[in-house]
Structure 1
Amino acid sequence: MDFATDVPPYVAKPLELLPFRALMLAPNHVGDPASARALARPYRDVAARLTTWIAQGRAVADTAPALYVHEYTAAGLTVRGLVGALGMSRRTSSRADRAVWPHEEIHPEQAGELADRMHQMDLNPAPILLVHHGEPELRDVLADVTRGRPDWRYLDRSGQRQRIWAVRDPEALARIGTLLSETRCLIADGHHRYAAYLRLQQEHPGTAWDAGLAMLVDQVDTPLFLGAIHRTLPGTTLAALVEAAREAGAEVTTHGRRRALSALDSTHLVLTDGQSWHTVSPVNLDRAAAVSWLHERVLPRLGTPLMRIEHHHNVEDALAATSASSPAVLLPSPDFEQVRALVESGGLLPEKATSFQPKPSLGALMRPMTDG
């Protein structure tokens, strides 16, 4: 099985989120799947394609560099974050000095492909998502910004409501910089793009590639929802999974579908082939994430090594892919504090362990390398 095997370097404090000159798709193109063709192959033509879109009114470039307060609402959940160019040039191995904390391993070849793609595009097409516990004073600064009229406000094609404020005042920018300097943040989404940013910075030091586009969300103020990513396991059987779970020290109980699904919580997993249903209660799961227990204790005990794992962001999709030859493991949602404590103690979660939602629509804020 093709496991993720690499942990990218850690960016060192002080955390820097720098102004940039944003490129944005026009409101009626943000969140439109058809707009993805502007960022499609051949990637070397993307910059010229976006220039044409600007001339046609399908995209707009901001007039001057700024930090952006970006607030979006999807399915009744509002997320607000600070978007800027994340400084990538300083590295550290010291835990005390780390500003950005990955919580998953990555595939180096995938990160390399993303780096090559962004370099050809001459663009950061979307921000990685970072989460932190912000200082109350920083929340006050951002609240002052959002009391003003947004520079952009619209409902995009996907149904997300977007509000964006450009922050250019030198005093406000300096204050934000000071308040962010000691921040420790967790990567919520974009581990491979983060690794690609690091590679591009290393290959092109002293250029715009010294930074990469990021959105920093205060998990205390407007938290992202942290959900589970479920698994289906082609090539094994439900019986083999049940036996491996018991060998790992878990209590496995047979239930009907409804009762099994209702038992899915922080201390239980569910195994099913679509016909039979089992709840799994590992020992001491309160001290470890369920997904880590699965990968570290259960999957190695399967008699036949897995060739691949398929990932699903909701129970319905996982069950739709479930069969006798591809049983499902339904996982509980991880706890943010548990994830943060694990990472800051030196641990990591398996690949695709967490799903932070909702993510902003594509095209709301992009960073060209000629952002001036």
Structure 2
Amino acid sequence: MDLADVVPPYVAKPLELRPFRAVMLAPGRVGDPASARALARPYRDVAARLRQWIAQGRATADTAPAVYLHEYTAGGLTVRGLVGALEMSQRAETMADRAVWPHEAIHVERAGELADRMFQMDLNPAPILLVHHGDPELRALISDVSRTEPDWRYLDRTGQRQRIWAIRDEDVLARIGGLLADARLLLADGHHRYAAYLRLQEEHSGTPWDAGLAMLVDQDDTPLFLGAIHRTLPGTTLHDLAEAARAAGADVTVHPRQRALSALDSTHLVLTDGAEWHTVSPGRLDREAAVSWLHDHVLPRLPRPVDRIEHHHNVEEALTASSPTSPAVLLPSPDFEQVRALVESGGLLPEKATSFQPKPSLGVLMRPMTDA
């Protein structure tokens, strides 16, 4: 298996979120699959393509730099956060200095490909998502902004409802900066883009690449939903998987489908090949995440290494992909506090361990380097 095994460097405090002049796709094009053409190969033509789209009214460039408050609603969940250019040039030397905490390792080659792509595009096409427990004063400030009339409001092509405020007042920006300076942010989504930002900063120090586009979400204000990413394991069998779980000290019980699925909770996993169903109780999930227990204690005990690990963001998708030669492992949703505590104690989760949802539609806020 080709496993991610490199932890990207940690950005150091004080955290700084700079204003930038956003480029935005026109409301009717946000979330439209056809709009992806604006960001498609050849990547070196993307900057000119976006300028053409702006001239045609298919995109727009803001009039002046801002830190943006972006609120989006999808599937009944509302998320809002501050979007800005995150300063990346300072590296933490101690755990106490760390401002941004990745919770997964990355593939260096993939991060390099993303860095090359962004450099050719001259663009940060989408923000990474950072989650934290915000300062109450900052939460109140954001709440005050959200009660004013937004600068942009629309329903996009995916059904997400977008509201965006451009924050330009220097006093408000200074207050935001002071309240964020000591923040500790969990990297929720975009580990490879984050690593690409760091590589671009190192290669182009002293330029706009010293920063990368980021959205900061307060989990105490509008929390992102934290879901599991399930697995199917081509190259093994349900029997071997169940025996490996037993060898790792878990109780493994055969159940009918419905009872097994109803047992999927914070203390149980479910194994199935589509015909048989097993519930697994490791008895140690109060001390480690289920996905870590699977990777650290079960997979190494299989008689043959799995060919690869396939990832699925919902149970139905995993069950559809399961078979006698590719059993599924259904995992419970991780807990945000558990993930944060693990990471801040120096640990990591396996690759694709968490799914923070919902994510914003592509094209709402982009950061060009030519006017960063």
Residue 179 (str. 1) matches residue 179 (str. 2)? yes
> How many matched pairs?
372
Partner secondary structure for residue 64 of structure 2: coil
What does 1:1-372 correspond to in 2, within 5 Å?
A: 1-372=1-372
How far residue 143 of structure 1 moved from its aligned partner, in angstroms, is 1.3
Residue identity matched to 2:307: M
* Distance in 2, Cα, partners of 1:33 & 1:113: 22
Q: Which amino acid aligns with 1:345?
A: S
Shift of 1:247: 0.2
Deviation of the 1:93 alpha carbon: 3.0
String of CA shifts for 1:262-281, please: whole Å, max 9, x gaps. Answer: 00000000000000000000
What's the CA shift string for 1:138-196, capped at 9, x where partnerless?
01111111111100000000000000000000000000000000000000000000000
- Structure 1 spans left out of the alignment, 5+ residues: none
How far 1:306 sits from its partner (Å)? 1.5
Describe the SS at the equivalent of 1:264: coil
The residue type paired with residue 177 of structure 2 is G
Quote how far apart the aligned CAs of 1:60 are. 0.1
Residues in 2 aligned to 1:194 and 1:211: alpha-carbon distance in whole angstroms: 10
The alignment yields a C-alpha RMSD, in angstroms, of: 0.5
Q: Deviations over 1:79-119 (max 9, x none)?
A: 00000000000001311010000000000000000000000
Q: Distance in 1 between matches of 2:324 and 2:37?
A: 38
In the alignment, the residues of structure 2 paired with residue 155 and residue 371 of structure 1 have an alpha-carbon distance, to the nearest angstrom, of 27
Farther off after superposition, 97-106 or 136-145: 136-145
CA distance in 1, matches of 2:307, 2:16: 41
- Secondary structure of the 1:274 match is coil
Partners of 2:105 and 2:226 in 1: CA distance: 18
Work out the CA distance in 1 between the residues paired with 2:181 and 2:371: 23
TM-score for the superposition, normalised by structure 1: 0.99
| Cα distance in 2 between the residues matched to 1:34 and 1:371 | 25
Q: Percent identity?
A: 81
Structure 2 counterpart of 1:39, one-letter code:
L
1:63 partner amino acid: T
For structure 2, which runs of at least 5 residues remain unmatched after alignment? none
Q: Report the alpha carbon displacement of residue 37 of structure 1 after superposing the two structures with TM.
A: 0.8
- Tell me the distance in 2 between the aligned counterparts of 1:35 and 1:325: 39
Deviation per residue, 1:196-216 (Å, 9 max, x gap) = 000000000000000000000
Asked if structure 2 preserves the Cα contact closer than 8 Å seen for 1:65 and 1:371, the reply is no
- How does the TM-score come out when normalised to structure 2? 0.99
After superposing on structure 2, the runs of 4+ consecutive aligned residues of structure 1 that deviate more than 3 Å are: none
Q: Residues 14-66 of structure 1, C-alpha deviation per residue, up to 9 Å, x if partnerless?
A: 01111000000000000111111110000000000001100110000000000
